[in-house]
Amino acid sequence: MVLHAATAVLDWVMDKSLVLGYTKIGPTVRRAWWPHDPVPGALVGRHVLVTGASGGLGLATARGLARLGAVVHITGRDASRLDDARSRLLEEQPLAEVTSHVADVSDLAATAEFARRFVADVPRLHAVVHNAGVMPPTRTVTPEGHELALATHVLGPHVLTFGLRESLGGGGRVVLVTSGGAYAQRLEVNDLEYTQGTYSGTAAYARTKRMQLVLAPLWARELAGDDIMVASMHPGWADTPGVTESLPGFAKVTGPLLRNAEQGADTAVWLTATGDPIGSGGFWHDRRRRSTHYAPVLVETPGEVERFWAFVCETTGVPTPRG
């Protein structure tokens, strides 16, 4: 969608001001010019997988997809929380089709096995929304030896995406839920496992969200031949457990302006369901493609991008070279 010049300037100012663009002010104002909602029933009969959907943005995304008729598959690490989430969705929408799967995306071997089973059960998948997230208070290493935020936000989603490749092929979509916090970090290609310096959970979260922004166009490049669309998006500042529990000070200061979970999830739902031509590999916020850098600083070089891609592929073993 091409915006009128004055509207485009206002949208840009809101985006760069952060408070105007990232809080609930953003969707309230931008709704006047953003693309139309997906048509009712846009996803009827289509299967969509949402990771980390037992609460917060993931649950809100699942709710929005179910309203559009999707057959929704939700994953999480805690079976009881997943059951509660599924029950809430069905209470709100009794005719919805919702299936829950206990899965920990940070476990790469288990994620690969989950993908194999899922493809066998769901040979045609419309979309996967990668929402699962963590903000470890201290540096934590998975049993496979990877820093937890890296495994959860980068390596696990990579394994899952390529594990679902066959099911997604021929028009499927991949949506990465990232964060505006990525703007504050560069691609630390020399320390991807965060072994150097003093560890910060907030920094680890933002660093791996930067990696997701780099990863999305790489996935788009690799999956173009399979006709799979890839997009990353950020939800703005939303009132979710991830914010209130991990960043209580930030939540206290910004509380009155925080978006609700549905406002935060809106663009993920829209990217999954829209019929508009949106291309592949872009970074989105409030239904508009955004720059992957706040300003022309901390920009990764092409060489750094390819080193990162090699690390992810070699660490996970996928995608395997094609003959």
Q: What is the pLDDT along the chain (323 residues), one digit of tens a residue?
A: 567 888 999 999 999 999 999 999 999 999 999 999 999 999 999 999 999 999 999 999 999 999 999 999 999 999 999 999 999 999 999 999 999 999 999 999 999 999 999 999 999 999 999 999 999 999 999 999 999 999 999 999 999 999 999 999 999 999 999 999 999 999 999 999 999 999 999 999 999 999 999 999 999 999 999 999 999 999 999 987 766 666 676 656 667 899 999 999 999 999 999 999 999 999 999 999 999 999 998 899 999 999 999 999 999 999 976 54
Task: Quote the tokens at residue 19.
Answer: 């408070």
Q: How far apart are CA 309 and CA 307, in angstroms?
A: 5
Range list of H helices, 95-200: 108-121, 148-150, 156-163, 165-168
C-alpha span between 282 and 290 (Å, rounded) = 8
> pTM to 2 decimals?
0.95
Say how far apart CA 161 and CA 12 lie, in whole Å. 32
* 205 catalytically annotated: yes
Among the options 22, 183, 194, 205, which is catalytic? 205
Task: Say if residue 27 is preceded by a cis peptide, omega within 30 of 0.
Answer: no
> Can the peptide bond before residue 40 be classed as cis, meaning omega within 30 degrees of 0?
no
Task: Give the distance from CA 122 to its chain's centroid.
Answer: 21
